[in-house]
Amino acid sequence: LCCVAAPLRAQTVAMEAVVAVVDDDIVLASEYQYRLKQVTENLERQKVQQMPPQEVLARQVLDRLILERIQLQMAERAGVQISDAQLNEAIGTMAAQNGLTLEQFKTSLESQGESYAALRNQVRQEMTLQRVQQGAQGGAGKVAQFRVISFGFKLSDNCDRNDDFMFGKSIE
């Protein structure tokens, strides 16, 4: 008997780079690059005379992504939820503001290469963030501590790569 072992072939799997760890969540390089592109395009579309230097803009985008992650974690811990009815109403309002029915709005999104499901997720996230921000303006509350680690990016001039941040949490 002769046994011939088949050679094992290792599969190469591309791993996405992580640019920041925010407590129990991460910010992926693709999210960061996508958001940076969106912000840059919006500024160009608005014909901003004095664009900030790319390094400053990049840092601001990363800071914003990290803050959003922290606020979403605060919302989750506080049990903040956006119902499907609230979400549908908000998207219906968006469609109406564009002079479209919901079906026309969906079709318009898809014709621009955008996903309706992705839009729903984005709007739900933005509504959740608004609720957290409104709650934070309401006064004193519990304090939540989050661990933020950035990889290859300096968050701000007076912030190391591994810092603890304290945020007031006043969502009841």
The residue assigned the tokens 């606020």 is: 71
The helix or strand, by DSSP H or E, that contains position 26, with its residue range, turns out to be strand 25-28
Q: What is the pLDDT of residue 94?
A: 92
Alpha-carbon gap, residue 109 to 94, rounded angstroms: 12
Q: What is the pLDDT of residue 156?
A: 41
Residue 167 pLDDT exceeds 60: no
Q: What is the pLDDT of residues 26-47, one digit of tens each?
A: 999 999 999 999 999 989 889 8
Alpha-carbon gap, residue 159 to 142, rounded angstroms: 24
Residues 6+ away with beta carbon under 8 Å from 65: 20, 27, 31, 32, 35
Q: What is the pLDDT of residue 15?
A: 76
Helix 29-45 / helix 54-78 crossing angle, nearest 10 deg: 120
Q: What is the pLDDT of residue 2?
A: 54
What is the chain's length? 172
From residue 92, give the alpha-carbon distance in Å to each of 83, 84, 112, 119.
14, 12, 18, 12
Residue 132 pLDDT level (bands cut at 50, 70, 90): confident
Residue 88 pLDDT level (bands cut at 50, 70, 90): very high
Residue 49 pLDDT level (bands cut at 50, 70, 90): confident
Residues 6+ away with beta carbon under 8 Å from 21: 27, 147, 148, 149, 150, 151
